[in-house]
Amino acid sequence: MTALVQPSSDPPPEHWGSWQMFFEAHAAVYARLDAELHADHGLSLRWYDVLLQLHAAPGARLTMSDLGRAVVISKSGLTGLVDRMQRAGLVERSGDPGDRRVVHVTLTPTGADAYRRARDDHRRAVSDVFLRHLEAGEAAVIERAMRRIRENTLRGAPG
């Protein structure tokens, strides 16, 4: 197993190539998946992310705060995104009678149908664009590395 780079040291030059490839691959995969969802289902990847999070939630409902923590693609502009999705009939907003500061977002039947229609095509696209390009054993290595990076970043660990 390769030793981890210590926070106080400069990363070896070959690690910069890993960063560049991650950055470029992420941009290419995101653009392709977003374009396919738009073309096939009229959904952006951000909208799909919201639909997926609500579909997975108990009662297909989350508070705006919980939705903000759950979405993966982008947390910025979530209020405007939910406004647009509500106008499209995919979600509903409702207040909490016990706490006026709380806003719930609920998946509508139209939103649930849109999610179900897009899900299989999206999973197929993820497989075609990303998963099928991994060799045996690479998925586990990539997952471990990305999980470690995510966890360290979220807890504010240096380097």
pLDDT in tens, the chain (159 residues): 555 655 557 888 888 999 999 999 999 999 999 999 999 999 999 999 999 999 999 999 999 999 999 998 777 799 999 999 999 999 999 998 888 889 999 999 999 999 999 999 999 999 999 999 999 899 999 999 999 998 998 888 665
pLDDT computed for residue 100 by the predictor: 85
- pTM assigned to the model: 0.84
pLDDT computed for residue 4 by the predictor: 61
| Domain 26-148, architecture per CATH | Orthogonal Bundle (1.10)
Q: Where are the domains of the chain?
A: 26-148
Distance CA 71, CA 17 (A): 29
Evaluated on CA atoms 9, 14, 20, 22, the torsion sign reads negative
Q: Six-digit token pair at 45?
A: 């990847």
Distance CA 68, CA 89 (A): 20
Total Cβ atoms within 10 A of residue 48: 20
Which residue matches tokens 């950055």? 23
